[in-house]
Amino acid sequence: MLTDDDIGFIEYWNQNRKRKKKVWKQLALGLPLATVLVITIFANIVFRWHKEADEAFRREQASLIIVLVVACILIVVFIVIFSVRHRWDINEQHYKELMAKKNKQ
């Protein structure tokens, strides 16, 4: 027997599953998590918490900044796409389970 929450989820997911799979929508939804991670990485550099990293940063500052920016962009893209697609897969699996349960009744 399906609860009211299950029926509401089935209706919601049936209407929004195609829209939520689009890449631009995924980027917009997962961006805050990735941004927080990148900000913490730059905070570690600015506050010089790791002495050896600070020394390396001072020696090779120009090339290291480019590497850090590229790495941060890759981190953001990976986390955004991975987290949103994982969430989409979980919702899709839950939807399929509820539909199988509904069809069994």
Q: What is the pLDDT of residue 62?
A: 67
By the 10 Å C-beta count (0-12 exposed, 13-18 middle, 19+ buried), 24 is classed as exposed
Q: Residue 40's Cα: distance from chain center in Å?
A: 16
Q: What is the pLDDT of residue 85?
A: 83
Q: What is the pLDDT of residue 100?
A: 92
Q: What is the pLDDT of residue 23?
A: 64
Tell me the C-alpha distance between 39 and 30, whole Å.
Answer: 15
Length reported for the chain: 105
Q: What is the pLDDT of residue 41?
A: 81
Q: What is the pLDDT of residue 26?
A: 65
**pLDDT < 70: residue spans in the chain:** 23, 25-27, 29-30, 61-62
Tell me the C-alpha distance between 12 and 98, whole Å.
Answer: 13
